Amino acid sequence: MKNYNIRKAKLIIWDLDETFWDGVLSENEITFKPEILKFIEELVTKGIMNSICSKNSFYQAKYAFINSGNKKIWDYFIFPSINWKPKGERVKNIISKAALREENVIFIDDNPANLNEAKFYCPNIMTAVPSQIKKMAEELYIVNDYDFEHTRLKQYKTLEAKVKEKESTNISNEEFLRNSKIKITIKSDCENNIERILKLISRSNQLNFTKNRVEKDVLLEQINNSNYESAYIEAQDKYGNYGICGFYTLDKVNNSLIHFLFSCRILGMGIEQFVYSRLNYPKIKINGETAVLLQKNFYPDWIELTDELDIVEQTNSVNNNINILFKGPCDLLSSLDYIDTACNIDTEFPYWNKHLAYVINHTHTAYIVQTHKLPETELVKLTKQFPYPPKEEFHTNFFDKKYNIIFLSLLTTSHSGLYMNKKNGEYVIFGFAECDITDENNWESLLSTIPENMKEKNLVMLKDFKENYTFLGNPPVEEIIKNLEYIRKNLSEKTQLIIILGSEIPTEKIQPGYKDMANKHSILNRAVEKFAENYKNITLINLTDFIKDDEDYTTCINHFSRRVYVEMAKAFADIANEKLGQEYLSVKSE
């Protein structure tokens, strides 16, 4: 049974497990559905927003998007609610924060109980099950509305930022509004903005007091009627610009409003009351229910009327011509969490694949080079040889010419065990650099955790590996420099390469595989510094600079405190903005 109408939708709220993706996140085995990722992008282009209501860990869900290269999709969601609480009230809360009506929202979930619970709290909400998503996507063409610049998304992101700040303060609503520095301008050149005004008339409901839906020719007649006064309203506050968010047509002869409507995005700001009071409270026939009531003799004095708004580029708008790649282990992943971006960001971080193998070696410089140099057939052969790297280790967009900046961390490179095939020079990675598995003295320790009935088979594999591979060192400095030279040579000249070096300050917090890493970082860092002297398009960031004491480490020398990640984020933003000549990255306010 179909309980939704895509033409009415302004927001779709998504469940995640077995709905947005296949599998259950808490069981570490999910697969994103390409058709849904595409659908999300199409929805945003149509001006339909997306949110999440899922029973999961918020950060685990967020990193599932980031680690799979879908950060852009994550950034499309507004007011995501991801925790273990019942969904009914959370769905209602999302709708309230987005200042929308239940009847303009679709909730998609594979569990009928969740859908019924949402219906209990939001009787007018539309619902759907995963099997209906394909049909929903096919029907999207009937939504004859386009927002190619994602203006609506930017405005909802502005609203989201405002709601978050309001929730974090204990001040009254009126004091919050005064602190918001709301400004509006009222303009009469309506014919120049006729299409936007028509959309506003057709879409606005909660703050459309008159609900007089008209065609373009009728609206033009009204705008050009000398007995009428027509104007549109633009608004901004310290959180961002809301664009054209209101419109009215006043019959001056009868002192009555023919049109009086506003976008739900400015709900709660008092703008509709401000305009009504400025018009000196004319007569108005209110059609149907509205989210607020107009009052006579009330003037919201926290709003400033100005001739022109100080319109600035919103920090959350995206410049599609600027592309940045972050590639490396969790040092980059954790610091990126503190960065707001105004450009395209791609990420290549470690993740668990569907076979529960932890994919991390793709962040090693040797694998970056090898993926670029070898044909697909050779890479496939490598996945069938000991130590059997998964095919995902050989995937990267690293050498794409589109990137203006690439942040590359050497933390994986500095502690992983790197080996080279004696015959063809191909790389494999196994374990940590501190344990050379071609050294027979280490075999007893390596085999100690293997079941007795499997030891002989593994011993044969170790002997074969020793016969065919050479250990490249701890750390393999010469090989790393050679790989960095290849990387720099094969990147676009315009691409600024930012290399992150490991900390040289020792710590008492040591995990297996990280023994004496401060000294190893020091050896590698000196070599990389010497190498980088020959390039103007290489910049180095040494994590040593961010460490004050041992409390700045958590579990080992490569895992840091929140303060360090914030400082790293600031450094990343400063360097990127300097290289790009404009502020595209900014650090989130704490």
Residue 529 dihedral angles phi and psi, to the nearest 5°: -60, -45
What pLDDT score was predicted for residue 319? 63
Same domain, 335 and 367: yes
Same domain, 121 and 49: yes
What pLDDT score was predicted for residue 183? 93
Same domain, 408 and 300: no
Quote the distance between the C-alpha of residue 126 and its chain's center: 27
297-329 pLDDT, tens digit per residue, is 889 999 999 998 875 444 445 566 899 999 998
Residues in contact with 386: Cβ distance below 8 Å, sequence separation at least 6, in sequence order: 428, 461, 464, 465
* Average pLDDT value for the chain: 89
Q: Classify residue 459: in a domain, yes or no.
A: no
Same domain, 282 and 364: no
Same domain, 390 and 473: yes
Same domain, 543 and 403: yes
E strand residue ranges, 443-574:
469-471, 496-501, 538-542
Percent of the chain with pLDDT over 90: 57
Give me Rg for the CA atoms of the chain: 29
Direct distance between the N- and C-terminal alpha carbons of the chain, in angstroms, rounded to an integer: 47
Q: Are 324 and 404 in contact, with CB atoms under 8 Å apart?
A: yes
Same domain, 549 and 494: yes
Same domain, 376 and 294: no
What pLDDT score was predicted for residue 313? 43
432-443 pLDDT, tens digit per residue, is 989 999 999 999
541-580 pLDDT, tens digit per residue, is 999 999 999 989 988 899 888 889 889 999 999 999 999 9
* Alpha carbon distances (Å) from 397 to 327, 368, 412, 428: 10, 9, 18, 20
Same domain, 399 and 529: yes
Instruction: Report d(CA 52, CA 36) in Å as an integer.
Output: 14
DSSP structural state of residue 309 = -
Q: Classify residue 310: in a domain, yes or no.
A: no
pLDDT confidence band for 92 (50 / 70 / 90): very high
Per the model's pLDDT, the better-predicted residue between 242 and 46 turns out to be 46
Q: How many domains is the chain built from?
A: 3
Q: Classify residue 16: in a domain, yes or no.
A: yes
pLDDT confidence band for 513 (50 / 70 / 90): confident
Q: Which of 147, 182, 200 is the last residue of a domain?
A: 147
Name the residue among 76, 73, 589, 569 with its Cα closest to residue 337: 569
Instruction: Report d(CA 510, CA 438) in Å as an integer.
Output: 24
223-279 pLDDT, tens digit per residue, is 999 999 999 999 988 877 888 999 999 999 999 999 999 987 787 789 999 999 999
Same domain, 216 and 74: no
What pLDDT score was predicted for residue 561? 87
* H runs (alpha helix) in 133-215: 133-139, 151-167, 173-179, 194-203
Specify the CATH number for the domain of residue 289: 3.40.630
Q: Are 420 and 482 in contact, with CB atoms under 8 Å apart?
A: no
∠410-413-416 over CA atoms, to 5°?
145
114-152 pLDDT, tens digit per residue, is 898 899 999 999 999 999 999 899 888 778 777 888 988
56-88 pLDDT, tens digit per residue, is 989 889 989 988 889 999 999 999 999 988 899
What pLDDT score was predicted for residue 89? 93
Q: Which of 259, 274, 305 is the last residue of a domain?
A: 305
The sign one gets for the Cα dihedral 190, 195, 196, 199 is: positive
User: In 10 A of CB 93, how many CB atoms?
Assistant: 14
Q: Classify residue 457: in a domain, yes or no.
A: no
Per the model's pLDDT, the better-predicted residue between 389 and 506 turns out to be 506
Long-range (24+ apart) CB contacts under 8 A made by 380-383 are 382/426, 382/428
Say if residue 1's pLDDT is above 80. Answer: no
**Token pair for residue 564?**
């360090």
Q: What's the domain range around 21?
A: 6-147
Tokens 């009506």 — which residue?
A: 101
Q: Which of 100, 118, 147 is the last residue of a domain?
A: 147
Same domain, 477 and 515: yes
Instruction: Report d(CA 41, CA 116) in Å as an integer.
Output: 28
Specify the CATH number for the domain of residue 343: 3.40.50.1110
Taking every pair of Cα atoms in the chain, the longest distance, rounded to a whole number of angstroms, is 100
Same domain, 519 and 538: yes
